[in-house]
Chain A
Amino acid sequence: MRRLLTLAGLAALPVLVLGVFFVLPVTGMLGQGLWPDGRFAPGEVAEVLARPRVHRVLWFTVWVAAAATVVTLLLGVPTAYALHRVRVPGRSVIRAAFLVPFVLPTVVVGIAFDRLVSTGPLEGLGLDGSPVTIIAAMVFFNLAVVVRTVGAAWEGLDPRPGEAAAALGASPWQVFRTATFPALRGSVVSAASVVFLFCSTAFGIVLVLGGLRYSTVETEIYLLTTSLFDLPAAAALCLLQLLVVTVLLLLAARARSATGQATRRSVTPSRIRPYDAPALLATALGLVLVAVPIAMLVVGSLRVDGAWSLANYRALDTTGGDGLVDVTVFEALLNSLRTAVDATWIALLVGGLVAVIVTRRSHGPAERRIRGLLDGFFMLPLGVSAVTLGFGFLITLDEPPVNFRESPLLVPIAQALVAMPLVVRTLVPVLAGIDDRQRQAAHSLGASPLRALVTIDLAVVWKPLLAAAGFAFAISLGEFGATSFLSRVDHPTLPVLIYRLLGQPGPHNYGMALAAAVVLALATASVMFVVERLRVPGVGGF
């Protein structure tokens, strides 16, 4: 009984937060779609889904995401091997480099690729506004997911089954196919499903690169809401996306749980051998893909009228040429930092509680059932895209019973919900890895439950906790999907301001947007650099 009460006490805050800021917006959004005038009218949803444009959007979303996933895996898996099992010089720096795109604000990624194909060396290829550019940007963005997830699994993989296979006469490729890959399958499937999820719900990239020609479900929802004011249609698309994403997550979870836990041991990376060449080549390709757009961005920000200049950076404390944007970039950066601090503590508090709750061992069937239910409930935010969340906030939280429209915490809370699944995913493996008997040993030596939490759990988890904080901070800095709906006109965050600057005519504003993107990228990259230093071997990934 006392255990159940403790559980209820711990769970109260996350349940409340998720209830108000997740369940309410999402059901409100569903209500818009299914009960447009207070009557249950599923026909409207069917009508929206029957539109030819919606079909085009759906098809585009799926094939682009699938293509991007395949390319990401082809580049990412060999890279994961090279960076985790081979003694490549400067491994940790290269690993950090691969991680940078993942936390680069999507708007920045969009601009970087736009620069690359419209003005750079690839100008003549006609890639401007083509799906190839969108796919390349998605790969750029998601390589980190594959490298980290598969790399973490590969890093601790027991090499002895592979060595046994080699001793029996298997070639390196056969070793990979028969011994290594089966042991890695879980992490590859898990990475692939996450990448597909991110690609099919990509927002900023498609919004910037797709222009008016190409639209995915996410950008279509945005368009329908902000330009066409067709809320029921937007709600219908949200509903569809919610269903598809939930099914995808369930499938991914099943694929993950179907593969057994391989034995882990610490393995020292081997020196470079001849047959590592393909893997090294993939790593080099990936590195080029990551480095070139960023370089283009930096170079572009330093060019004004065909000459080198810092003018774009000097303009960052102005409000732009035409006075259409009434906030300076530095003010927006301050807004972003303030928002990110709030989003980080919220994400850590709620995500940390969730991680503690789902990893504690249950005594008795009642507790196990409750814990299982909570576990499922807390995973729900993973299934909802940022745009859906932002849209849901927009239509439900501006009227009683909960009016948060003017609250300065509205944007941080939305961003915290976006970052929370990642916090949970970072902390859960670490907490679950603590043998419960360590806590019992501490109790038996006289440590109270709180004392045991501090001396056992916290002592082990502080590094991943800091890393999770860094992640949450970086994600919040670059968050665009939900924020674009919620950011107040006079208090935009930096990504929102950059997007607005892009919408202004004139090379001056474009140059300023580039400079602002570099500043934003530097801010997130420095946070990620700290996170990479805190990396806990064999743990983490996505």
Chain B
Amino acid sequence: MLAIDQVTVNYGATAAVRDVSLDVRAGEVLAVLGPSGCGKSTLLRAVAGLEPISAGRIAFDGADLAGVPTHKRGFALMFQDGQLFNHQSVGANVGYALRIRHRPRREVATRVEELLELVGLAGYAGRDPATLSGGERQRAALARALAVEPRLLLLDEPLSALDKSLRERLALDLREILTRAGTTALFVTHDHEEAFAVADRMALMRGGHLVQDGTLAEVWEHPADAEAASFLGYPTVLDGSAADVVLSAAGVATGDGVALRRSALQVSAEGPLGGVVLSSRVTPDVVRVEVDVPGVGVVASVTSDGTAPPRPGQDVRLSVVRDRLAVIPQRGSSGPFP
């Protein structure tokens, strides 16, 4: 549907986006994940028609978008802070795009009610945007963006301005709303949890380049490199001899790097790795244990069910759970990303 083909965007002399190619298919949500300054927002703005592209091609349904102004693209853009129009009521904000298209008044009113219901803000139509909380503002902004069923919804860090618990709840709601509305969306974020909660597919950007893209599982299970693995949320990323120790303990061929989820290492009596406990902390789900393993370094691990939390200074054995680690192909070795 949306085809981004070898797109470069320059800001003066520096290239904010370099040679990026991506596709978004009908009905799917693609998350572009990357640290701030990686060019992900610039890419989004280029798709929206707010930044001119220096090279490449952006097409929708096969039609080149070059020269099509923002307001004729039929997309909708939702900003980090919502950018509700403060001089209009919530209802007027949501109905904005409908009024622009001269839809009959009654239809607008019905659709506004419907949309507010969809985002969980039923009865808020008469409110002044200034009186809304951060989460409510984002919900209203989402309703406004969805009003005319955009061909493509562009979301620029829509949840980043919210606090953590609200963000988690709203991410799930967002996923459900987008699925229910069948919306195709391009979604930009620096928060991997947000990306995992909302998206079907994910693209990783760094320094203006596209590092990797694929389904959530593909990306998660095969991070392109160590940095990508860290960014995806792996607490421990190892390479060289440290990686070899863990890989051989897991019974996997050595020579590559490895990224470990917290639950990849579990405290158990017969584990192949030994180490000294530095600290342990009880959390609602698991007991998190930091262990110093000779030849590897400090790693994050958890206790398996029913084991008492170890004390600092205690010697423990660790087992490696194979499906909870990701092998990272080293530079020069064979792999999809040389």
Q: Give A contacts to B, CB under 8 Å.
A: 363-365, 435, 437-438, 440-449, 451-452, 455-456, 459-460
Q: Tell me whether B76 is interfacial, beta carbon within 8 Å.
A: yes
- Bound form: Cα–Cα A451–B97 in Å: 11
Instruction: Give B221-235 as 1s and 0s: 1 = Cβ < 8 Å from A's Cβ atoms.
Output: 000000000000000
Total contacts A to B, CB within 8 angstroms?
A: 70
B75 — which chain A residues lie within 8 A by C-beta?
444
- Bound form: Cα–Cα A449–B52 in Å: 17
Instruction: Give B74-94 as 1s and 0s: 1 = Cβ < 8 Å from A's Cβ atoms.
Output: 111111000101011000000
- Bound form: Cα–Cα A452–B72 in Å: 13
Cβ of A445 and Cβ of B83 under 8 Å apart? no
CB distance from B183 to the nearest CB of A (A): 14
A460 — which chain B residues lie within 8 A by C-beta?
87
> Residue A363 contacts which of B52, B69, B71, B77 (CB distance < 8 angstroms)?
B52
> Residue B100 contacts which of A364, A440, A451 (CB distance < 8 angstroms)?
A451
Q: Give B contacts to A, CB under 8 Å.
A: 12, 48-50, 52, 69-79, 83, 85, 87-88, 96-97, 100-101, 144-145, 147-148, 154
B70 — which chain A residues lie within 8 A by C-beta?
440, 443-444
Cβ of B76 and Cβ of A444 under 8 Å apart? yes
Question: Which of A363, A438, A440 counts the most chain B CB atoms within 10 A?
Answer: A440
Cβ of B71 and Cβ of A441 under 8 Å apart? no
Cβ of A443 and Cβ of B88 under 8 Å apart? no
Q: Majority SS of interface residues in chain A?
A: helix
With CB as the reference atom, state the residue of chain A lying closest to B74: A446
Say yes or no: A438-B76 contact (C-beta < 8 A), given A444-B48, A444-B70: no
Cβ of B52 and Cβ of A440 under 8 Å apart? no
Cβ of A444 and Cβ of B77 under 8 Å apart? yes
With CB as the reference atom, state the residue of chain B lying closest to A443: B70
Can you list 14 A-B pairs with a CB-CB distance of less than 8 A?
Answer: A435-B83, A440-B70, A441-B78, A441-B79, A442-B96, A444-B48, A445-B77, A445-B100, A446-B100, A446-B148, A449-B71, A459-B85, A459-B87, A459-B88
With CB as the reference atom, state the residue of chain B lying closest to A456: B85
B147 — which chain A residues lie within 8 A by C-beta?
445
Say yes or no: A441-B100 contact (C-beta < 8 A), given A447-B71, A448-B71, A456-B85: no
B148 — which chain A residues lie within 8 A by C-beta?
445-446
> Residue B96 contacts which of A365, A445, A449 (CB distance < 8 angstroms)?
A445
A456 — which chain B residues lie within 8 A by C-beta?
85
- Bound form: Cα–Cα A364–B70 in Å: 19
Question: Which of A437, A451, A459, A460 counts the most chain B CB atoms within 10 A?
Answer: A437
Say yes or no: A444-B100 contact (C-beta < 8 A), given A435-B83, A438-B85: no
- Bound form: Cα–Cα A247–B96 in Å: 48
Cβ of B77 and Cβ of A455 under 8 Å apart? no
With CB as the reference atom, state the residue of chain B lying closest to A364: B12
CB distance from A372 to the nearest CB of B (A): 16
Cβ of B83 and Cβ of A438 under 8 Å apart? yes
Cβ of A365 and Cβ of B83 under 8 Å apart? no
Given A443-B50, A445-B76, 18 more contacts at CB 8 Å? A364-B12, A365-B12, A437-B79, A438-B83, A440-B70, A443-B71, A444-B76, A444-B154, A445-B77, A445-B96, A445-B97, A446-B74, A448-B69, A449-B69, A451-B71, A455-B85, A455-B96, A459-B87
